[in-house]
Amino acid sequence: MKAKPVVQGLYMVPLGGVNAFLLDAPEGLVLIDAGFPGKADAILAAMADLGRAPGHLRHIVLTHAHRDHIGSLAALVRATGAETWMHRLDAPIAERGAGFRPLKPAPNFLLRLLFHMLIRSDVKVEPATIDHLIEDGDVIPLAGGLRAVHAPGHCAGQVALLWQARGVLFAADVCTHLAGLTDPIGFEDQEEGRRSQRKLAGLDFTVACFGHGKAITHDAARRCRAKWPAVPA
Ligand SMILES: [Zn+2]
Ligand SMILES: [Zn+2]
């Protein structure tokens, strides 16, 4: 499994339908999201590809408690001893490995098809301890600062992460970039999800990374604003 460079110090790790990201920080490697269950070895292989041992992974930041983002969290913590960070509304789901909230499919035929292939709220994953709870506006003191932007609608405890030092937004599943920039496959609350899309479009960034789909490496905020006219912060 190859780690794909996005910008200096940032690598995308494609994990079969969902992405995780590795940030090369002074305090060690930081992982954003942890893939479906059974993907720990693929993430460790991507680290090995960068010349890093499991112990080099020091922190794991989870954008939200869906199975495709927290599935391998417990296995990764076991393998690396990394500390974990998550919004307080979603942390209890990761800590129980259950209690996923139901989603309604997005209003788009293709996304709806994917939704019925991928989404089940009755699933369980291996529980994992969350060491640090995140709130909206917190600047997580990793990689020079990752600002948490609470972005509910797809998932109540979802956060996007703004890496201001590098002009990178990790948009999580607020939107996807599969066949163009569009919705996630489902929403807990679609109106809330739209507000979160406009909120992210109002931020200042050049590069956008998504839970699903390719990264946008130039002019990403403008492209998001063209799709979702921003509301003033
Ligand atoms: Zn999700
Ligand atoms: Zn996802």
Domain enclosing residue 49, as ranges: 4-120+128-227
**What is the SS3 assignment for 36?**
coil
The verdict on residue 49 lying in a domain is yes
CA–CA dist 215, 218 (Å, integer): 9
> What mean pLDDT is predicted for residues 203-212?
98
As a whole number, the mean pLDDT across the chain is: 94
Q: How far is the CA of 62 from the centre of ligand 2 (A)?
A: 11
- Cα torsion angle, 224, 227, 232, 233, sign: negative
Q: How far is the CA of 211 from the centre of ligand 2 (A)?
A: 5
Q: For residue 38, give the nearest of 125, 102, 119 by alpha carbon.
A: 125
Torsion region of 16: left, alpha or beta (phi above 0 gives left; psi -120 to 50 gives alpha): left
- Report the percent of the chain where pLDDT is more than 70: 96
Q: Which ligand is nearest to the CA of 34?
A: 2
| 33: its two tokens | 């999201």
> What mean pLDDT is predicted for residues 86-99?
97
Task: CATH number of the domain at 159, please.
Answer: 3.60.15.10
Q: How far is the CA of 63 from the centre of ligand 2 (A)?
A: 9
Burial level of 10, CB count in 10 A (0-12/13-18/19+)?
Answer: buried
**Each residue of 159-186: pLDDT tens digit?**
999 999 999 999 999 999 998 999 999 9
The verdict on residue 21 lying in a domain is yes
The verdict on residue 233 lying in a domain is no
The verdict on residue 232 lying in a domain is no
Instruction: Look at the chain and report how many structural domains it folds into.
Output: 1
Q: Which ligand is nearest to the CA of 212?
A: 2
What pLDDT sits at residue 110? 79
What pLDDT sits at residue 182? 94
Beta strands in 10-135 (DSSP E): 10-14, 19-25, 28-32, 57-61, 83-87, 104-105, 132-134
**Each residue of 61-92: pLDDT tens digit?**
999 999 999 999 999 999 999 999 999 999 99
The residues pairing with 59 across neighbouring beta strands, listed in sequence order, are 30, 83
Q: How confident is the model at residue 111 (pLDDT cuts 50, 70, 90)?
A: confident
What pLDDT sits at residue 116? 76
The verdict on residue 143 lying in a domain is yes
The verdict on residue 195 lying in a domain is yes
| 201: its two tokens | 């479009």
